Amino acid sequence: MSSPKDLPKPLTNPLAAELTAEHQLKKTQTEEKVVLPSAEEIASEKSQQKLLQSIEAFDEKCLKKQETVEKQVLPTAEDIKAEKPLI
């Protein structure tokens, strides 16, 4: 059985009375506007999905190992002489 705390309280303020009163509303027609994608948009989306799938399915094992060689190029004496007058 419900306790008195669980029972709904009666609505007494004017706003509550307005909410529970009978209203005279006008009938309206609702229109759902659904824009379907064009054939071009569908084709471009499919090509994007194929591209992403091919990237995800790429096998790293088929790549060759490559060593990175860093080269440090120092300026020649002529380069230093050419830049000295500018400074």
Kindly give the confidence (pLDDT) of every residue in the chain, 87 residues in length, as a single tens digit, with 9 standing for 90 and above: 556 666 666 666 777 777 777 878 889 998 888 899 999 999 999 999 999 999 999 988 889 999 999 888 888 888 888 888 765
What is the value of pTM for the model shown? Answer: 0.38
Residue indicated by tokens 């992403």: 52
H runs (alpha helix) in the chain: 14-20, 39-56, 77-83
Cβ neighbors of 19 (< 8 A, separation 6 or more) are: 11
How far apart are alpha carbons 32 and 13 in whole angstroms? 38
pLDDT at residue number 21: 77
CA 84 – CA 47 distance, rounded (Å): 57
Q: What is the pLDDT of residue 82?
A: 86
